[in-house]
């Protein structure tokens, strides 16, 4: 099973700070790159599914970029709020099908 690496493992920021996380994935045989948000005591929910090199997606204060040639994606959160506290997961479909998740970046935002 391929490796999907995320960094940092955890992050603590103050309300209003902007932050970003990294997801690294195999650059060969690219199909898609997924980002999910996982709040405590809830289930993961999809943020973005990105399929094209150079793709940029945005949802409110959260955005993501994709570089398939070098195998990385960044997730940005602008002006973090306490409700952004969650674990952010990226996932890569192995052989185009089995979605393999990274271990996630846990974000904690203090007010």
- Give the footprint of other proteins on this chain (CB under 8 A): 1, 31-32, 34, 36, 43-46, 49, 51, 89, 91, 93-104
Query: Min. distance of Cβ 68 from other proteins in angstroms?
Result: 13
**Closer Cβ to other proteins, 60 or 96, answer by number:** 96
Question: Is residue 94 within 8 Å of 26, Cβ to Cβ?
Answer: no
**Closer Cβ to other proteins, 8 or 82, answer by number:** 8
Query: Min. distance of Cβ 63 from other proteins in angstroms?
Result: 17
**Closer Cβ to other proteins, 4 or 77, answer by number:** 4
CB atoms near residue 107 (< 10 Å):
21
Query: Min. distance of Cβ 37 from other proteins in angstroms?
Result: 11
Q: Name 31's Cβ contacts closer than 8 Å, sequence gap at least 6.
A: 51, 92, 93, 96
Query: Min. distance of Cβ 6 from other proteins in angstroms?
Result: 9
Residue 71 tokens, joined: 């195998």
Question: Is residue 26 within 8 Å of 92, Cβ to Cβ?
Answer: yes
32: DSSP letter: -
């Amino acid at each position: 099973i391929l490796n999907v690496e995320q960094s940092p493992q955890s992050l603590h920021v103050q309300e209003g700070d902007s932050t970003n996380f990294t997801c690294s994935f195999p650059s060969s045989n690219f199909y898609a790159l997924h980002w999910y948000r996982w709040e405590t005591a809830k289930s993961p929910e999809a943020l973005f599914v990105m399929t094209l090199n150079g793709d940029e997606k945005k949802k409110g204060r959260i955005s993501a970029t994709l570089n398939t040639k070098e195998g990385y994606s960044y997730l940005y959160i602008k002006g973090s709020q306490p409700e952004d506290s969650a674990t952010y997961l990226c996932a890569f479909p192995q052989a185009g099908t089995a979605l393999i998740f990274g271990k996630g970046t846990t974000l904690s935002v203090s007010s």
